[in-house]
Structure 1
Amino acid sequence: MIQMMLPQRRRPTASARRQQEVAPVAKDDPVVPADIHAPSVEDDPVVAADVHAAGVDAANDAEGFPGEPRDPSVLIEYADHVAVSVWNEEKLGRPAPEIEGLITATGLSPLIAFSVDTGDRGLISSFVERWHRETSSFHLLMAKFSITLDDVMSLLHLPIVGTFHTFEPLHVNEAVLMLVELLEVSREAARAETAYCHGPYSATHVHVVFLDALRDLSQSGSYAWGAAALVHMYDHLNDACRSSIRQLAGYITLLQCWIYEHFSSVAKCMADPDYDEVSPHACRWITMKAIVKSIFTATYRQRLDRLRIPDVRWMPYGEHRPF
């Protein structure tokens, strides 16, 4: 579960002061005749620079890395660093075909291909402020808008037709047995984990009862994941619009990409030139931190207030239908 902190006013704090330690100055050693020597290459700064550059180039050609660093004798473990994989445009992480196969069986494999890794807090906050739980919609000056099943199906390629799992209350002993069986944890650790099953959910703890829905992955592939995702998004928007709440939990990618599709004049985002119409629509958006951090919440509010009917993309998906 993803949790996004919404913007709020904070009082400025004083910068922490650091004390700088002054290194002791070494005493001058007496100069003896043996220290006096004839001029060498190092004594001429121009010649020394040329010699040093030639030596560096030779070292680079022998054992350097493309880009930086050039001296592997300093960063001796650089060859195994993630930066090398990024430079070589390699896919990060080890392939796990057995896990990918399990995810395919659940019907959630489209989610592997994309995720908006940069959440726009100002943009999300400006829309949360317009959400009303009584109507399950965003109230703008010109009209009301809601995220629909068609949005979920087109953006995420998740099925909106299927079965729903019925969750039954679990006894503590049943929860412990499920953790031991499905996650292969020790019985002591399982009993410690069940302590988090009481009270409201959080962004870091998930109720053990949800494991029961994934016990049989072949059966979970028949679930209406898209409909469940939409209800989940509605529930968190209902909570976030309350004045006492300062955060929004849930799958932020769904909400943010929905805004990109329908309100392109409000949110500035780059479209992927390599996007193909067969992939989920959420794959076509590329977020950049420079753009996200350069726009304040007040700016988004003004853009929403200036919206008119022609500014909205009412049918953004065209003929794009995954099923």
Structure 2
Amino acid sequence: MSDGFCGTHLQIMVRTRGLGRALGQVTGRVIPASDVQDDPVEAPAAVEDIPADILVDAGVEAAEDQPQGFPGGPSDPSVLTAYADHVACSVWTGELSSHGRKVHSLGRPVPAIEGLIAGTRLSPLIACSVDTGDQGLLSAFVERWHQETSSFHLPVGELTITLDDVSSLLHLPVIGDFHAFEPLHVDDAVQMLVDLLMVSPESARVETVQCRGPYVRLQWVRDIYQRRCQAGHWTAAARAYLLHLLGCTLFANKSATNVHVVYLEALRDLSMTERYAWGVAALVHMYDQLNDASMSHSRQLGGYITLL
């Protein structure tokens, strides 16, 4: 088959694309595209038999039927049919949850606990959160993250976040002891809240029931922090402040509202907290959560924009 014939045949097929739909609107029946393209030479003659005004009206109606697409995303969603459920769509529609506002709303620790907070080596997290980000940049990174390799697949190659990045951006220790966060039963979570945050068993129980597990709301932690400061219970206030800080930064999750109580265990003895390799824990947690957050069923990135 010559190149000239292939080119002519391709041009004719392009010109007749959508002809079956136009003819169907005129004749009142559906005409498969294969029936129109089986005889591409005769197709233009069929077009000439249809009044021009009918073809124009059909074209306008077809254009009106076409979806408008997504801002910053595909203009023709007929191919990417599940894009509405992609987390990148949430970035563009403003549904992205940033914990930076929660950190800023709590503010810096009161002077009485500044020394305790600084001694844990977690105080750099107070200034690392952002309220907003470049939507196009975030969307591009989200779409190119793949859990099989835990890396971003870009035109220039693969890119990932390393311990050196964590150390340079967050100024957290990447060398130190590891703390094993064991699975926590709700009863153990209640007891931990009573012992370390000085709340009543009834209050702790109600909160875990509302969160449906060993979790507490970030708003609830902020309230506890204010109460402990007012009562002068500075160690409990420091733990509440750090739990809120960890829940908004290192250990953010897609709930955008809750933090796991298990992290309080690492804050039991604040003099030991500085010995932990927080940077390593942050990187492992971020890889694990990004894998989940990049799936179409997850609508929130939570605080994972901290390192992005």
TM-score by length of 2: 0.50
More helix as a share of residues: 2
TM-score by length of 1: 0.47
Higher RCO, Cα 8 Å, sep 6+: 1
